[in-house]
Structure 1
Amino acid sequence: MTETTDLYIDGEWVSAESGDTFAVENPADTTETVAEYAKGSTEDAERAIAAAADAQADWEAMPAPDRGSILRETAKLLEEQKDELTEQLSHEEGKTLSEASPEVQRAIDIFYYYAEKAADNAGNRKGASGGRTSVYTKREALGVAGLVTPWNYPIAIPAWKIAPALATGNTVVIKPASNAPGPAASIVEALEEAGLPDGVINFVPGSGSDVGGTLTSHEDVDAVSFTGSSEVGHHVYDAATDNMARAQAEMGGKNPAIITDSADVDEAVDIVGAGAFGVTGQACTACSRAIVHTDVYDEFVEGIVEYAESIDIGDGRDDLGMGPHVSQGELESTLEYVDVAANEGATHETGGERLEGDEYDDGYYVSPAVFSDVERDMRIFQEEVFGPVLAVTEVDDFDDAIEAANDSQFGLSSSVVTTDLNEAHEFIERTEAGVAKVNEKTTGLELHVPFGGVKDSSTNTYREQGDAGLDFFTEIKTVYLNT
């Protein structure tokens, strides 16, 4: 019988008020239940918020280096469990071990990073107009932070929200996505073992309407940080700001890679293929559109089709080239877009089939798909798929490529592959995206620099990670001290 992971509220692992639980199945083999979790409700979320509010003043009053020491110890504990966490992530979410392991390492590095940054959460001294007055700013915690995190990066994204929130003296209630809540629970367990005081972090998985809705609208929640779909993100932002909470939402993407006529086509294929089909395309920064100069178009299409067809697919824990989708719903969405693209007149080059056979029948497997001759008014060009599906569009020159790349409601990550330095600089200036990459895949982020999008990819209020993560979770008090 599968052991149930409880909620974590006020320093104790407890059953849900209702007694309800939910199971997480193995996306590579749905006949297997990986784990079972207590299913939180509105009442559980309210208890967690109350515990966080009660603990917040004492946590913020703790000297910042002491808070940093707890984060550092948490990083050490996660590091000691890296192999087990990698296995857990792959088992619940479906990533290959080679994809899961760097994500776990990223979470470890994030906690080490913010352990050191905790002591930097100070302010600035300014010159005053009067000789006896000292003017300076100090940073203070917002209070209680409600964090709503997705399933596709189930340890990295919770880490990059939890760590800066705690480093700056906030307390936390986190609601992880129900498809893969285990890695977030493991972070909480490490924080508990590291000596985090009761109530400072609370873990309440459950439905978006019950737990998520409570976190985003409760009067005692002072900050809301969300990562997920654009539709839900806008609702979260509106609910939080209606209650005067500080809010940020990082949402969808339809990320382009421009392939210029100067590009090394083999390099371009590798860059686009890794960005499009890595993590089964289940990334908000995944490359979904390749915008290719006519002079290298045919060569690129031939190369990317060969790349897609060379990917070995299977259980993530077998560590092949690509794992399954996380759920039936995600698989069906990808298959639907494959049909839409074909019906709209795009040329179906390869892939997009649900895989069948003994090793695939009980999993959510799909082959990576490539469509060429994609026009800018097609849904496959405009809408986020969140699966291993690449749309390839032909353009006549660099200006057309930039115009096509920017022809989207989204603006998260973008890339150009070129050997022309002038083109690289012009791309950086003109791309409408929060992340601009030259000769790199659209996926993959450094933890010490800001991350976020523009347009419908983000509420564009605050960035995440690096010093920007500290900025979101703090407010500035300006002090005039007349001696």
Structure 2
Amino acid sequence: MTTKTEVTTYLNFINGEWVGSEKGEVDASINPADRNEVVGYVQKSTALDLDKGVQAAEEAKADWSALSGAERGNYLYKVADILESRLDEIAKTMTREMGKTFPEAKGETARGVAILRYYAGEGMRKVGDVIPSTDAGALMLTTRAPLGVVGVITPWNFPVAIPIWKMAPALIYGNTVVLKPAQDTGVTAAKVIECFEAAQLPAGVVNMVTGPGSVIGQGLVEHEGVNGITFTGSDTVGKRVGQGALARGAKYQLEMGGKNPVIVAEDADLDLAVEATISGGLRSTGQKCTATSRVIVHRDVYDEFKEKLLEKVAEIKVGNGLEDGTWMGPCASESQLNTVLHYIEKGKEEGAELLYGGKKYVGEGCDTGFYVEPTVFDSVDNNMTIAQEEIFGPVLALIKVDSAEKAIQVANDVQFGLSASIFTTNIQKMLDFIKHMDAGLVRINAESAGVELQAPFGGMKQSSSHSREQGQAAIEFFTSIKTVFVKG
């Protein structure tokens, strides 16, 4: 590592070594709580740097895939132990680099530890089945073959958990990896990769190249040496990733946007529904793909729910995520702040009633950060922009409906289908919601955000490429089935 004005410059990790980019250019990673603080510098890499990373992964894949699953799992156990030992340090870096509160960052880092240990255990689980053959003198079975080199493109909102939930299954199933993290959280990504380095994985098995998405991300998509691409990010970029991978026959996996509803039925526990709506919609400053953005409430309880919601929203403490008591930190960047403010103005222009917030937050100590007030809109029609497009900010749109059936119809009337939740005590309403809600994740009497690491995760419609991440479902993307016929 080198330093620049006493701020660390983080290098690319290629073939087991930390190396600078060919041009020597870097980007500053800015603390969103204080735009005057540089967290670190990350490489602004070129296509040539990416070539080196892919070549290293290609050269390492044969030996890595030749190891037993248990041997690969032992490496992941070591990475988990190292990450756990550095949990507070890495979580603090995450908070400084993208803004989420320190408790949330610690929880995410701990989740990364758990994901590593889960997939380490996958090295000892079955990878195929014996299938009866029509030939009585033969044995037929299936096994799994790794894809080879996997390009991993990850966003800034979960800079520890998402890279790990992609890299860990890729590795345990015998693939090598080239990670392209979001440039805004390149420092946090480098610290995660340091844990893999410390676990002494063979050179070239894990590589990281930072740089612009238009160069490094697109370069991974188009690189003939990359056999599969796993991507999490916006639907606009995701579609380009899918088209590029398809054009050259590479396997791809896309997890994109959401416009996630919570339905509040007339028989709901309103206090529980309010708590979950605020947590699901405003925690992490609304910067989750599973965050609640539409709140569809039965008219019989609409006014009472709204009153309880506004009372709780008013209690939210906005501020630096490293300060005790802060509930909601800043937007992750100035660009994201401007996006959120743009959608708020759009909501007002289209006739929604602003009930709370709606402006840049300028409380004590927040004047140099990218803060926005938690925002609640009333009188929202589902055709409005704020009810259709992903905002990725702390904005809730309240929609009034006359029935549970109408609520599901409204909930489904968007291009996305990632997550959804309902609050009701009626079993039939629960069953109808499970059956008719077009979302990959449906939750009953729980917030829309959140998924357990051992369960499949992914969306319907424009939210994904219809594959699933996490849990044992991950094997479907990171491997190909090989059918074996043995005749004596």
TM-score by length of 2: 0.98
Task: State yes or no: 1:158 paired with 2:163.
Answer: yes
The Cα shift of 1:358 comes to 4.6
Map 1:58-457 onto structure 2 (within 5 A): 58-120=63-125, 122-319=127-324, 320-457=326-463
Contact 1:416 1:439 (C-alpha < 8 Å) held by counterparts? yes
The Cα shift of 1:121 comes to 5.3
Residue deviations 1:268-321 (CA, integer Å, cap 9, x gap): 110111111010000110000000000000011111112211100100111411
Whole-angstrom distance in 2 between the partners of 1:42 and 1:428: 46
The Cα shift of 1:131 comes to 2.1
User: Aligned AA for 2:341?
Assistant: L
Contact 1:221 1:245 (C-alpha < 8 Å) held by counterparts? yes
Over 3 Å counting, the alpha-carbon distance change for 1:133 and 1:189 in structure 2 is: same
Whole-angstrom distance in 1 between the partners of 2:360 and 2:123: 47
Whole-angstrom distance in 1 between the partners of 2:475 and 2:127: 10
The Cα shift of 1:119 comes to 2.4
| Aligned-CA RMSD value | 0.9
The Cα shift of 1:352 comes to 1.6
Q: 1:42 aligns with which of 41, 44, 47?
A: 47
Residue deviations 1:354-377 (CA, integer Å, cap 9, x gap): 122551110000110000110111
Whole-angstrom distance in 2 between the partners of 1:209 and 1:428: 39
Residue deviations 1:163-191 (CA, integer Å, cap 9, x gap): 00000010000000011122322221111
The Cα shift of 1:247 comes to 0.2
User: Aligned AA for 1:21?
Assistant: V
Contact 1:249 1:459 (C-alpha < 8 Å) held by counterparts? yes
User: Aligned AA for 2:257?
Assistant: G
Contact 1:218 1:243 (C-alpha < 8 Å) held by counterparts? no
Over 3 Å counting, the alpha-carbon distance change for 1:75 and 1:480 in structure 2 is: same
Whole-angstrom distance in 2 between the partners of 1:98 and 1:190: 21
Whole-angstrom distance in 2 between the partners of 1:304 and 1:341: 19
Residue deviations 1:93-131 (CA, integer Å, cap 9, x gap): 100012111100110000000000022252111122222
Whole-angstrom distance in 2 between the partners of 1:172 and 1:479: 27
User: Aligned AA for 1:29?
Assistant: D
2:29 aligned residue: 24
Stretches of 4+ aligned residues off by more than 6 angstroms: none
Contact 2:263 2:295 (C-alpha < 8 Å) held by counterparts? yes
Whole-angstrom distance in 1 between the partners of 2:146 and 2:268: 48
Whole-angstrom distance in 1 between the partners of 2:126 and 2:217: 29
Whole-angstrom distance in 2 between the partners of 1:348 and 1:3: 43
* Number of residue pairs aligned between Structure 1 and Structure 2: 482
Whole-angstrom distance in 2 between the partners of 1:352 and 1:163: 40
Identity %: 44
Whole-angstrom distance in 2 between the partners of 1:451 and 1:287: 16
2:3 aligned residue: none
Whole-angstrom distance in 2 between the partners of 1:97 and 1:449: 26
Residue deviations 1:22-72 (CA, integer Å, cap 9, x gap): 111110011111111122111111111111011101100011111000000
Residue deviations 1:195-252 (CA, integer Å, cap 9, x gap): 2000011100100111001101111110100000000000001101111111011000
The Cα shift of 1:353 comes to 1.1
Unmatched segments (≥5 aa) in structure 2: 1-5
The Cα shift of 1:259 comes to 0.3
User: Aligned AA for 1:151?
Assistant: W
Whole-angstrom distance in 1 between the partners of 2:170 and 2:447: 29
Whole-angstrom distance in 2 between the partners of 1:124 and 1:241: 29
Residue deviations 1:450-482 (CA, integer Å, cap 9, x gap): 00001111111x200011112210001111100
User: Aligned AA for 2:387?
Assistant: F
Whole-angstrom distance in 1 between the partners of 2:342 and 2:283: 20
User: Aligned AA for 2:134?
Assistant: S
SS in structure 1 of the partner of residue 183 of structure 2: coil
User: Aligned AA for 1:91?
Assistant: R
Whole-angstrom distance in 2 between the partners of 1:155 and 1:182: 11
User: Aligned AA for 1:371?
Assistant: F
SS in structure 2 of the partner of residue 283 of structure 1: coil
User: Aligned AA for 1:442?
Assistant: S
Contact 1:309 1:351 (C-alpha < 8 Å) held by counterparts? no
Whole-angstrom distance in 1 between the partners of 2:15 and 2:126: 26
Over 3 Å counting, the alpha-carbon distance change for 1:122 and 1:357 in structure 2 is: closer
Contact 2:169 2:478 (C-alpha < 8 Å) held by counterparts? yes
Contact 1:141 1:473 (C-alpha < 8 Å) held by counterparts? yes
Whole-angstrom distance in 1 between the partners of 2:421 and 2:461: 17
TM-score by length of 1: 0.99
Whole-angstrom distance in 2 between the partners of 1:445 and 1:31: 35
Over 3 Å counting, the alpha-carbon distance change for 1:357 and 1:287 in structure 2 is: closer
Whole-angstrom distance in 2 between the partners of 1:123 and 1:185: 35
